[in-house]
Amino acid sequence: MESNPIIDRLPSFLSDFVVDQNYGQYTARDHAVWRYVMRKNKAYLKKTAHSAYMEGLKKTGISTEYIPSIEEMNHILSNIGWAAVCVDGFIPPSAFMAFQAYRVLVIAADIRNVNQIGYTPAPDIIHEAAGHAPIIADPDYSRYLIDFGILGYRAFPSRKDNELYEAIRHLSILKAASNIPEEEIAKAEQNIEFINTHMGPPSELALIRNLHWWTVEYGLVGDLEHPKIYGAGLLSSIKEGKDALSKKVKKIPYSLDAMDFSFDITKPQEQLFVTPNFEHLSSVLNEFSSLMAIQTGGIDGVMKAIESGGVSTVVYSSGLQVSGVFTGVRTHAGQTAYIQATGPVTLNYDDKMLVGHSKQMHKEGFGSPVGKLKGSLKPMRLLSNSDLKQLGIVKGNPCRLELESNVLVEGVLQNITRKEGKIILMRFSECTVTLEGEVLFQPSWGVYDMAVGEKIVSAFYGPADPDGYGIRFDPPEEKTHKPSYSDKEKRLFVLYDQVRELENSESLKKISTLWDKIRSEYPDEWLLAYMLLEYTPESQSSNALRNEIIQFLKALKKGRKDLKHMKIPQNTSI
Q: What is the mean pLDDT of the chain?
A: 92
Q: Cα 395 vs. chain centroid, distance in angstroms?
A: 48
Residues spanned by the domain of 535: 487-563
**Per-residue model confidence as pLDDT tens digits over 178-201:** 788 999 999 998 998 898 888 889
Reduced to 3 states (helix: H, G, I; strand: E, B; else coil), residue 166 is helix
Pairing of the two strands 271-275 and 219-222? parallel
**Per-residue model confidence as pLDDT tens digits over 261-274:** 988 776 778 899 99
Q: In this predicted structure, which of 270-284, 394-408, 501-515 has the lowest mean pLDDT?
A: 501-515
Residue 302 lies in a domain: no
Distance separating alpha carbons of residues 300 and 90, to the nearest angstrom: 31
Q: Cα 7 vs. chain centroid, distance in angstroms?
A: 16
The domain boundary, picked from 441, 469, 497, lies at 469
Three-state secondary structure string covering 369-422 = ECCCECCCCCCHHHCCHHHHHHCCCCCCCEEEEEECCCEEEEEEEEEEEEECCE
Distance separating alpha carbons of residues 33 and 8, to the nearest angstrom: 33
Reduced to 3 states (helix: H, G, I; strand: E, B; else coil), residue 331 is strand
Reduced to 3 states (helix: H, G, I; strand: E, B; else coil), residue 118 is coil
| pLDDT reading at 402 higher than 60 | yes
Distance separating alpha carbons of residues 237 and 136, to the nearest angstrom: 18
Query: 574 pLDDT band (50/70/90 cuts)?
Result: very low
| pLDDT reading at 351 higher than 70 | yes
Residue 572 lies in a domain: no
What pLDDT is recorded for position 163?
Answer: 87
What pLDDT is recorded for position 572?
Answer: 64
Helix ranges, 391-539 (H): 466-469, 487-500, 508-521, 526-535
Q: How far is CA 31 from CA 40, 403, 493, 562, in A?
A: 14, 68, 10, 19
**Higher-confidence residue: 562 or 350?**
350
Q: In this predicted structure, which of 60-74, 363-377, 455-469 has the lowest mean pLDDT?
A: 60-74
DSSP state of 430: E
Reduced to 3 states (helix: H, G, I; strand: E, B; else coil), residue 61 is coil
Residues 344 and 266 in one domain: no
Kindly state the percentage of the chain with pLDDT values over 90. Answer: 68
In 3-state terms the chain splits into helix, strand, coil percentages (rounded to 5) of 45, 20, 35
| pLDDT reading at 406 higher than 60 | yes
Q: At residue 417, what are phi and psi to the nearest 5 degrees?
A: -105, 125
Opening angle at CA 538, ends 519 and 46, nearest 5:
95
Residues 36 and 95 in one domain: yes
**Higher-confidence residue: 169 or 434?**
434
Residue 144: give its domain's CATH number: 1.10.800.10
Residue 352: give its domain's CATH number: 2.30.30.100
Q: How far is CA 282 from CA 13, 89, 135, 139, 278, in A?
A: 28, 28, 16, 12, 7
| pLDDT reading at 505 higher than 70 | no
Query: 227 pLDDT band (50/70/90 cuts)?
Result: very high
What pLDDT is recorded for position 573?
Answer: 54
Domain count, the chain: 3
Beta-bridge partner residues of 345: 362
Residues 259 and 131 in one domain: yes
Residues 318 and 405 in one domain: yes
Residue 404 lies in a domain: yes
What pLDDT is recorded for position 506?
Answer: 65
What pLDDT is recorded for position 173?
Answer: 87
What pLDDT is recorded for position 543?
Answer: 87
Residues 491 and 523 in one domain: yes
Beta-bridge partner residues of 274: 220, 253
Residue 279 lies in a domain: yes
Could you tell me if 155 and 205 are in contact, meaning their C-beta atoms sit under 8 angstroms apart? yes
Residues 78 and 151 in one domain: yes
Q: At residue 327, what are phi and psi to the nearest 5 degrees?
A: -125, -10
Residues 257 and 329 in one domain: no
Residues 37 and 150 in one domain: yes
What pLDDT is recorded for position 2?
Answer: 57
The domain boundary, picked from 287, 317, 344, lies at 287
Residue 349 lies in a domain: yes
Q: In this predicted structure, which of 54-68, 208-222, 299-313, 444-458 has the lowest mean pLDDT?
A: 54-68
Q: What is the mean pLDDT of residues 411-438?
A: 97
What pLDDT is recorded for position 407?
Answer: 97
Residues 152 and 179 in one domain: yes
Residues 406 and 554 in one domain: no
Exposure b/e, 195-229, CB count within 10 A at least 16 = b: beeeeeebbbbbbbbbbbbbbbbbbbbeeeeebbb
Q: What residue type is 303 in one-letter code? A: M
Query: 555 pLDDT band (50/70/90 cuts)?
Result: very high
Could you tell me if 154 and 294 are in contact, meaning their C-beta atoms sit under 8 angstroms apart? yes
Residue 298 lies in a domain: no
Residue 540 lies in a domain: yes
Beta-bridge partner residues of 329: 339
| pLDDT reading at 58 higher than 80 | yes
Residues 159 and 195 in one domain: yes
Residue 514 lies in a domain: yes
Q: Is 534 exposed, middle or buried (0-12, 13-18, 19+ CB in 10 A)?
A: middle
Helix ranges, 236-340 (H): 238-244, 278-289, 293-296, 298-308
Exposure b/e, 474-498, CB count within 10 A at least 16 = b: ebbeeebbeeeeeeeeeebbebbeb
| pLDDT reading at 1 higher than 70 | no
Residues 453 and 552 in one domain: no
Q: What residue type is 142 in one-letter code? A: S
Query: 237 pLDDT band (50/70/90 cuts)?
Result: confident
Q: What is the mean pLDDT of residues 414-435?
A: 97
Query: 165 pLDDT band (50/70/90 cuts)?
Result: confident
Distance separating alpha carbons of residues 283 and 144, to the nearest angstrom: 10
Helix ranges, 200-263 (H): 204-212, 232-235, 238-244
